[in-house]
Chains A and B, each alone.
Chain A
Amino acid sequence: MQITLTVNGTEVTAECEPRTLLVHFVRDTLKLTGTHWGCDTSNCGTCVLLMDGEPVKSCTVLAAMAAGREIKTVEGLAQNGTLDPVQQGFMAEHGLQCGFCTPGMMMTARALLDRNPDPDETEIRTAISGQICRCTGYSTIVRSVQWAAKNQEGASA
């Protein structure tokens, strides 16, 4: 089947099977490999991207369900070569180690800050509670999001 959707601001039309998962469509068809896959049961959250501004686990969404929707992946976070404050925060506060969960964590953080520009620690932990990081122990992810909240304006690459 053929689907049309907006990905990182650009309209895309492509073929997929009705059963194709959005995570595989994004990775294999669109070649946007920043979105990862890490479990079979929608527990790990390495596949999180934004659909119409909301974080979704793209292993639990069929590509066909994303037709007509607006998808944002990690590749769409930076604007005109300027890193999103969330991306800068993860570097500044050591919010990543192996980097595998990082895109999903950053997309959730972006969505959180869009609706709550000054979240407290509990709100940040709750926001990422559906995602697993095996490396960082989460404290530095919390600090990374707090860094981004403090530096929303005027951040540069």
Chain B
Amino acid sequence: MTILEQQPRETNPAAGDESRPIGFGRLQRKEDPRFVRGKGRYLDDIVLPGMLHGAILRSPVAHARIVSIDTTEALAHPKVLAVITGKDLEGLNLAWAPTLSYDVQAVLATDKVRFQGQEVAFVVAEDRYAARDALELIDVDYDVLQPVVDVRKALDADAPVIRDDLENKSDNHIFDWEAGDAAETDAIFAEAEVVVSEEVVYPRVHPAPMETCGAIADYDQIDGKLTLYETTQAPHAHRTLFALVAGLPEHKIRVISPDIGGGFGNKVGIYPGYILAVVGSIVTGKPVKWVEDRSENLMSTSFARDYIMKADVAATREGKILAVRTHVIADHGAFNASANPTKYPAGFFHIFTGSYDLAAAYCKVTGVYTNKAPGGVAYACSFRVTEAVYLIERMVDVLAAKLQLDPAQLRLKNFIRPEQFPYANKTGWEYDSGEYEKTFRLALGKAGYDELRREQAEKRARGELMGIGISFFTETVGAGPRRHMDILGLGMADGAEVRVHPTGKAVVRLSVQTQGQGHETTFAQIVAEEIGIPPEDIEVVHGDTDNTPFGLGTYGSRSTPVSGGAVALATRKVREKAKHIAAAMLEVRPEDLEWEKGRWFVAGDPTQGKTMAEIAMGAHGTVELPEGIDGNLDAEVTYNPPNLTFPYGAYICVVDVDPGTGHVKVRRFIAVDDCGTRINPMIIEGQVHGGLTDGVGMALMEFIGFDESGNCLGGSFMDYLIPTAMEVPDWETDFTVTPSPHHPIGAKGIGESATVGSPPAVVNAVVDALAPYGVTHLDMPCTPDRVWAAMQGRATPPI
């Protein structure tokens, strides 16, 4: 059933017109008219009067002591206005900045460089070419040190200590974090009929949005106000952090996040370049723009994953999964700048129990420093749910191979059943709702699973390599209840403000910020659904801290689960207030009124009623308002979600592998998603398509590797390969709807489901294709050379 069919048509006159739903339904995006005209306003499109350009000199080596920096020649360049080094920042107490994980990160290196691409000096010049020219004129003398590249050796006793800036630091250990019950889990393993073990690597990848990161700082020296344009997914969090870090008063900071050319978690943190633009503006008294190039983006900004996961699964001979345990080595790079909720240094990895009803589970994650760029939580990962889903879905297939069971049958034996929801898993989550088997069977049917297996058997008999891969994932998104979840002490709630103008048009102001997800449309549709004002009559305002309520921003699929809740509840407040005003206008009691979308009317006499537009004019007009009702039709809510939401889905991938070259062709991909209530099916489908492409990219192509000297081997789009239209199939999507019982509109979020869910489907398909060669596991990326090696019995981890 489509969402349109769910809406009673008699109360929604536009529901039959697919192009103009008043509320939920397929609706063309409100933001598109400017984008298709080339009139989007991205950061680098903004030009302020007198604006200067900054460029960053970066370290060519992974680990070295800085002996000296000579900026004389650069300063002599006729177009250069300033050259800033770490020494200059030390004088301002800005050489180091706090990260999102209670570590510090060098803004400009003072003592050592700790990864290739680290920021060393900042040039401010009249134009972007001159700024780049001047970088060539800076002379840095490095005393090169042994780098720590292999994360498996980072904790060895003789490993060089990367973070000797930290007091008493004598190793590269960051944290150990556990979830679940180790003793209970080990007891089950001791008795288990079947145990399978595998080392599963999720290599380092990068979100690589098409627009790189950048900032324009405009510091007004007269009134002391800093206007900071940034490519940021979290403008309010940035404003507060700038106040805390730079000591600027918060009311004198305005963060503006313009149109964002993709984020995927890459634009959550505060990068040194942003801080340097601010320093540059304060120093020169003029606006300073800094925009990184692609290599800077890939080599220095937040990467994703880099988890080495050793896992065991205990099961019965019949295929009932009993317990899972894993120990992870997490490579966090040179600074722990991972963007996690404070209490969760490994993010939400502890949802690695997946969609299955287990008797016990345990994980331990060990975070370590290496001489690589910092980051870890990014690329639509839902705070490490990506790694968790990959682990469990890969291991279920490893178990299926061991038991010689069909991987679909094995999953069906182990799903959490509908009557078990809300389901408390063994690592502390309470899953809100799900009908896993229904969704899974829809996917199997859509794929023609049995027929595919028959085709595969025929092809195998002919020596052709065809693989069918399954992934069934459960996410935990929409962080989160603020008593459990905060970032640097800021609770993970979000605000929304709805105002209905006197003529019945409305504005909704959000704390979250779109990077292409279509917030201007989706949030207008939520307001429309609740009070019947058409989406085209609703303005969505976001990305400007001076004009929106506080909240933590868009990442971890938070926007709909958290801000969507805020908007729905704020709009319901408006609707309730409208009831009292309508009652005053109609001279009846509020309890005598009934609601239909867009209108309060007298119960039993539908001709006596007031539309929202009439009520809005009444609210702002001369109607005698009841006591306690002030003269507007506005409301504001900060929504603190009671729990996270748990979107899920069933994915099936069909691949053909060329036995002569190891090349993998994704022939079909079937994705059935359940994100609860669906607001705009067109936008949801788009989110799924994009994530599936990410998944194919990670499974087959994308990889940030390093050589033994710590040189980044994925530092450009020549080396970091992203799928084009030729590498992906025409996506086959479908859906089920299992609303979240605790969410105001039942929506669960969809932004990251496909990125999280699809990599194991692709890898499982590749491994399935290679079964005739005895392959039971292969790590990403499944490039032709790595697939070929696996066929020769020489599969190796990528790191």
A-B contact sample (19 more), CB < 8 A, given A100-B211, A134-B210: A27-B45, A33-B44, A33-B45, A34-B39, A39-B294, A41-B717, A43-B717, A83-B37, A94-B685, A97-B518, A98-B260, A99-B261, A100-B209, A102-B35, A121-B730, A130-B724, A132-B722, A138-B693, A140-B686
B718 touches A134 (CB 8 A): no
B212 touches A38 (CB 8 A): yes
Binds A, one of B26-34, B73-81, B195-203, B401-409: B26-34
A44 touches B210 (CB 8 A): yes
State the Cβ distance, B782 to closest chain A Cβ, in Å: 19
State the Cβ distance, A36 to closest chain B Cβ, in Å: 7
A136 touches B32 (CB 8 A): no
- B516 at the A interface (CB under 8 A): yes
A134 touches B264 (CB 8 A): yes
A35 touches B38 (CB 8 A): yes
Produce 1/0 per residue, A15-29, CB < 8 A to B.
001011000100100
> For B259, what are the chain A residues with a Cβ–Cβ distance below 8 Å?
98-99
Q: Nearest residue in B to A143 (C-beta to C-beta)?
A: B730
- A52 at the B interface (CB under 8 A): no
Rounded to whole angstroms, the CA-CA distance of A17 and B730 in the bound complex is 44
- B461 at the A interface (CB under 8 A): no
- B493 at the A interface (CB under 8 A): no
- B166 at the A interface (CB under 8 A): no
State the Cβ distance, A157 to closest chain B Cβ, in Å: 9
Rounded to whole angstroms, the CA-CA distance of A33 and B258 in the bound complex is 14
Produce 1/0 per residue, A94-131, CB < 8 A to B.
10111111110010000000000000010011101111
> For A130, what are the chain B residues with a Cβ–Cβ distance below 8 Å?
724
B293 touches A87 (CB 8 A): no
> For B691, what are the chain A residues with a Cβ–Cβ distance below 8 Å?
137
Identify which of B32, B210, B685 contacts A133 (C-beta below 8 A).
B210
> For A137, what are the chain B residues with a Cβ–Cβ distance below 8 Å?
686, 688-693, 728, 731
A87 touches B686 (CB 8 A): no
Q: Which 5 A-B pairs give the minimum distances between C-beta atoms?
A: A34-B38, A98-B516, A100-B261, A137-B689, A99-B35
> For A132, what are the chain B residues with a Cβ–Cβ distance below 8 Å?
210, 717, 722, 724
- A14 at the B interface (CB under 8 A): no
Count of residues in A whose CB is under 8 Å from the partner chain:
59
- B736 at the A interface (CB under 8 A): no
Rounded to whole angstroms, the CA-CA distance of A101 and B262 in the bound complex is 10
Q: Beyond A134-B264, A135-B690, is A96–B35 a contact (Cβ under 8 Å)?
A: yes
- A48 at the B interface (CB under 8 A): no
Rounded to whole angstroms, the CA-CA distance of A138 and B724 in the bound complex is 8
Which B172-197 residues have C-beta < 8 A from chain A? none
Q: How large is the interface on B (under 10, 10 to 19, 20 to 34, 35 or more residues)?
A: 35 or more
- A91 at the B interface (CB under 8 A): yes
> For A128, what are the chain B residues with a Cβ–Cβ distance below 8 Å?
724-725
Identify which of B45, B260, B726 contacts A125 (C-beta below 8 A).
B726
B686 touches A142 (CB 8 A): no
- A60 at the B interface (CB under 8 A): no
Rounded to whole angstroms, the CA-CA distance of A129 and B722 in the bound complex is 11
- A58 at the B interface (CB under 8 A): no
Rounded to whole angstroms, the CA-CA distance of A101 and B38 in the bound complex is 10
- B682 at the A interface (CB under 8 A): yes
Identify which of A34, A38, A40, A138 contacts B37 (C-beta below 8 A).
A34
Identify which of A40, A46, A94, A102 contacts B686 (C-beta below 8 A).
A94
B36 touches A96 (CB 8 A): yes
A78 touches B264 (CB 8 A): no
- B59 at the A interface (CB under 8 A): no
Q: Which of B262, B264, B718 has the most CB of A within 10 A?
A: B262
- A156 at the B interface (CB under 8 A): no
State the Cβ distance, A48 to closest chain B Cβ, in Å: 12
- B502 at the A interface (CB under 8 A): no
Q: Nearest residue in A to B38 (C-beta to C-beta)?
A: A34
A139 touches B717 (CB 8 A): no
Q: Nearest residue in B to A121 (C-beta to C-beta)?
A: B730
Q: Which of A124, A135, A141 has the most CB of B within 10 A?
A: A135
Rounded to whole angstroms, the CA-CA distance of A24 and B726 in the bound complex is 29
Identify which of A36, A78, A97 contacts B516 (C-beta below 8 A).
A97
Q: Nearest residue in A to B718 (C-beta to C-beta)?
A: A41
> For B730, what are the chain A residues with a Cβ–Cβ distance below 8 Å?
121, 139, 142
Q: Beyond A41-B718, A96-B35, A140-B689, is A129–B262 a contact (Cβ under 8 Å)?
A: no
> For A24, what are the chain B residues with a Cβ–Cβ distance below 8 Å?
128
Q: Nearest residue in A to B293 (C-beta to C-beta)?
A: A40
Identify which of B294, B686, B716, B731 contacts A97 (C-beta below 8 A).
B686
Q: Which of B35, B211, B295 has the most CB of A within 10 A?
A: B35
Identify which of B37, B208, B683, B717 contacts A94 (C-beta below 8 A).
B683
A36 touches B37 (CB 8 A): no
Rounded to whole angstroms, the CA-CA distance of A92 and B32 in the bound complex is 10
B37 touches A87 (CB 8 A): yes
- B515 at the A interface (CB under 8 A): yes
- B517 at the A interface (CB under 8 A): yes
